[in-house]
Amino acid sequence: MKNETVEPRSPEPKRILRGSRLWFSKEAERRFYFILTMIMLVIGILYKTGIW
């Protein structure tokens, strides 16, 4: 027997344009900063090892 109690998430836009401002969803913002952190980590490691 399957457990069917999980409710589907409502689709939320990743970007919302209000006037001249661009708003991002919480998920999109977290993903952006995670990717940016990983890039900075790799650059830091390359710099410390003398490759960069």
Domain boundaries, the chain: 24-52
Structure tokens at 5: 């109690």
Q: What is the pLDDT of residues 1-52, one digit of tens each?
A: 566 666 566 566 777 888 888 888 999 999 999 999 999 999 999 999 999 7
Query: What phi and psi values does residue 22 have, to the nearest 5 degrees?
Result: -110, 120
Write down the pLDDT at residue 22. 82
Residue 16: both structure tokens together: 């919302």
Q: Give the residue among 8, 25, 29 at the shortest CA–CA distance from 17.
A: 25
